[in-house]
Structure formats: structure tokens, C-alpha cells
Structure 1
């Protein structure tokens, strides 16, 4: 009986020792998962006419998800286009307005040829030839002067239209911003606006994050700092919901250079430490990791 009792006590002791060892911390640091969140804001003011997103919806970059009323901007653009058309209609038609002088010049050139032939035949005097040459020079100068005046007038009207063109470009930019276009791939985390609500420039519309990768923000003690470095691979454990752990690999992408007080919700390997350093571990997400989920890391 004594031997049986001794064996029973030994077995119980081994069991208790094993249980105690299993209860010891088997991780180097712990923390919670977070994502790089982006808040998308309105770039225009007006009534939201369409806004087709829901929380949890996956969006692609460049996807149009709604638009803001742009009627007034469109009407202002049409008004500017009409003003430009009216202004440019005042531009002189240089070729038409010079046609009369061009006709006079052509007639004078023909007359010059005729008189030149008469002078050769002693049927006309050289004075007549000199007179027609002088007349031709006068007509040419008149053409040059009127052409210069018409070009200056035309250029001035063109310059007057330039600010209107710039205003149209500004309106085109504002009209484009009335379209609500998702800028990045991700999942909608929060929706802050609804269809038919008023939007203003800078008003938050929704929050999105790319959950294909997720970040575990964990905390380590100063004694652990020499053990970690950027791009280091670590093991990441999370609760698998069945009483066990799911293990995957992560990469350290950031190490804080400043110590901070241990967050109340965070456990560290050295529970007596008052100051800890934050690190970020990047993990490929198979859709099982959620924002706020608890995770533990083990240095490899």
C-alpha cells in the first residue's frame, strides 16, 4: 500500500508540475490587430444624389460609388461657354476685311505690267510707271497696317477669352470631384453619410481599410529590444475558437524609438516592466484576422 501511495503522489506531482509549466507564458509579446484605415471625405458641396456602399462591402480602387448634385456647376459652365462664343464672334475676319485692298493691289500690279510694256514701246512715259509703282507701295503699306490692326484686335479678344477658359477648367475639375470615386482597394469599415444628405467639402463619407494584410501592434520590454529588428520574421498566435491556437508567420515592419507606459489591456513577458516599446508586425490576412482581435508573438 505504501508503494502504491508513493506512486500516486509522484504521478500527482508530475501532473501538477506539467500544468504549471503549461500555464506559464509561452509568448514574448502580445497586442491587438489593427489596420491602416483611410477616411474618405467629400471633395464637393451639395446633396448626395447617389451613395451605393454598405459597411463590410469590398471596393476596388477607381470604382465610382456615387455622386453629388452638380446642376449649378453645369449651368455655370454652359454660361461661360456661351460668353466665350459671343466674345469670339467679335473677332475680325482678317482675310475678308483685307480683300478689298488685295483686289486694289492686284489691279495695280496688272496696270504696272501694262505701263511697263507701253514704256518699252515709247507709248507711255516713265513718270506714269513711277506713279503706278508708288501707288502699289501705298496699297501694300495700307494692307500691312490694316492687317496689323486686325491681328492686334483678334489677339486681344483671344486674351479676353483666356480667363473664361480657365474658369471652365476649374468647373470641369469641380464637376469631376462631384463623382465619389473610391481611391483604394479595401473593405468599408464605417459609413458616415447617406443618400439625400447634404455634403460639404471635407465632410467624412466613409472609412476604408485594406484587410488583405493586417497589423498586430504588440509591446515589448526594453530587455527584449536587442532581440528584434526590422523585417524579422516572428510567429503569430491567435485563438482558433476551439481551445487551441492558430499559428502564422509575421514580419516586424516598425519598432518604436520611444518607450511608453504599459497599456492596461496588454500583457508582456516581463509583467513587472512599467515601460514598454511598441512594435508592428505585418501579417497576411486569410480573412480570419479581425481588427481588435488579440494576438501573441514568439520571436524565432
Structure 2
């Protein structure tokens, strides 16, 4: 009787043992988290009517691509006004240069007359008065030339000021162009064509979804096993029962723990500290989405 009972229970015990081994073989991941992306908000750098805006959610944009234009009519008019002022200043400079040339020619003639009267004075063919008059003419012309040079310096300073203002206006004109600064996918659009915008108003938000960031949290006990640049295994849900394995790389580890207790006395308490870790994961086919859960094995 006992022998038959033993043989009857043996298959049941073996099955239970296999089941327990199978349950115990289920490996848990080292950390869990969600995928993020580095989101960038692009804002208007000028004020005015948004004459054109070609950004829609889901669009892929290239770095340096022009995606909109803010009205720049008044800025263009100010630039034209300044350019006209510059031309007027340049004309004044040309006039001063011509005047200086005339004075230089007159000065050369006056110096020759002074030298001639000086020579004649030695033979008593010229008077001291004639020499004094010639010297006075030379002095007057030299002062006139100096005066012209001073005027030119003032006009050149004015020209430099105008050129600086034109450069500022040109910078303002460039800022009326909405230029996408980096490659990425548009996540949200906050503006529409013909809308009045002001400097600093958010226009759209984009992120580079070609590389996603899995942000996980690890304990202090796990911290020594994780290092920057470390290659890790990332798991995502393939279906309801299976995971898909991807490659990732640790790119950032928090230097301070989060949710730290005020007093940490024992080792058991220290391991309850949580450190944030960011893992970069390539996403060329776009299967990874913002907010998607993920697991990692170090």
C-alpha cells in the first residue's frame, strides 16, 4: 500500500520541482525606467506678423532649414534710411579729401614763394614784409589742412557709428527668419501663419528621436557596477510575452542621490538611496517612443 502511494506521488513532486525551477529562473532586470528625448523649444527672436510658418507636428526638420518668416518691412526701411545716411557721409568725406588736396597744392605754392622771397632778400631784391606775408600764407594753409583732417576724423567716427547701426539692423533682419537650429522631429507646434508674435514666444518644440534616453534609477549598492560609457543591455516589450533586446550606453550618472534620508547610519539604509542614470539608445527605425517603459541590465 505504501509502495503504490510513493510511486503515485513521485511524478507530482517532479512536476512541482520543475515548475519551481522554472519560476526561479525568471531573471529580473537591474533597473527600470522610461524613455525620454532631449526636447528643445524654438522661440521667436523678433516681433511682428508671422508671414509664413511651415511647421507641423510630426515633421522631420534639418538643421539650418528655414521654416518661417516674421514681417521685416519696417526693419528694411530703417536699414535703407541708414544706408542713405552712409552715402551722404561718404560724399562729405570725398568733399573734404578734395578740399585737402586744394590746400596741399596751395601750400606747395606758398612754400615756393616763401623760399623765393627769402633768396631775394639776400640780394636786397625783396623786403621783410614780403617774407612775412609769404610765411603767414604758409601758416594759414597748414592750419586749414589740419582743420580738414580734424573734420575728417569726426566724419569717419560718424560713418563708423552708422555702419555699426546697419550691422545691428542686419542682425535684426536675420532674426526675422525662423531657422531651425538642429535636426529633429517636431513634437508640438504653438503658432500659425499670420499670427502676431513677440520676441520670446514659443513657436514649436522638437527633439532628436534618432537617439532616445532611457532614464532609470539604481540603488547605492548597484552604483559601483555602473560607469560612464558602459555598454548595457536594454529591454523593451516585443509583445505581451516577449522582450526585445537593444544595445545602450551609459552617458550620465547622477552625482547625488535622490530621496536621501536625513540620517543615514546603517548599510541597509544607505542602499535605499536612489541615483538617476541616463542610457543612450539608438532609435533609427523610430520604434522607441517618449514615455515608453524600458529595462536595463548592466
TM-score by length of structure 2 reads 0.81
Are positions 1:99 and 2:102 aligned together? yes
How far residue 201 of structure 1 moved from its aligned partner, in angstroms, is 1.1
Cα distance between partner residues in 1 of 2:170 and 2:153: 25
In structure 2, do the counterparts of structure 1 residues 108 and 54 end up closer, same or farther at CA, with 3 Å as the change threshold?
closer
**Which of 66, 69, 72 is 2:68 aligned to?**
66
State the match for 1:270 in structure 2: none
Alignment counterpart, residue 230 of structure 2, candidates 229, 232, 245: 232
Q: Quote how far apart the aligned CAs of 1:36 are.
A: 1.5
* Distance (Å, rounded) in 2 between the aligned partners of 1:149 and 1:13: 111
Map of 2:212 onto structure 1: 214
- How far apart are 1:204 and its partner, in Å? 1.0
Cα distance in 2 for residues equivalent to 1:180 and 1:106:
63
Matches within 5 A, 1:113-124: none
Residue of structure 1 in register with 2:24 after alignment? 21
Matched, 1:9 2:12: yes
CA separation in 2, counterparts of 1:145 and 1:103?
12
Which residue pairs with 1:244 in the alignment? 242
- RMSD over aligned CA atoms reads 3.3
Q: Which residue of 1 aligns with 2:264?
A: none
Against the structure 1 CA distance between its residues 293 and 113, is the aligned structure 2 distance closer, same or farther, given a 3 Å change threshold? same
**1:45-79, Cα deviation, whole Å (9 max, x unpaired):** 11111111222222222111111111111111222
**Distance in 1, Cα, partners of 2:283 & 2:177:** 31
C-alpha change, 1:104 and 1:59, in structure 2 (3 Å) is: closer
Find the aligned partners of 2:117 and 2:274 in 1 and give their Cα distance.
108
Counterparts of 1:101 and 1:2, CA distance in 2: 133
Residue 223 of structure 1 corresponds to 221
SS in 1 for 2:221: helix
Separation of aligned partners in 2, 1:53 and 1:69: 17
Unaligned regions of 5+ residues in structure 2, if any? 261-270
Q: Give per-residue Cα distances to partners, 1:114-135, cap 9 Å, x unaligned.
A: 997xx7xxxx953328776555
Instruction: Provide the residue aligned with 2:295 in structure 1.
Output: 296
Q: Secondary structure at the match of 2:126?
A: helix
- Secondary structure, in 3 states, of the residue corresponding to 2:161? helix
Per the TM alignment, residue 163 of structure 1 is displaced from its structure 2 partner at its CA by 2.9
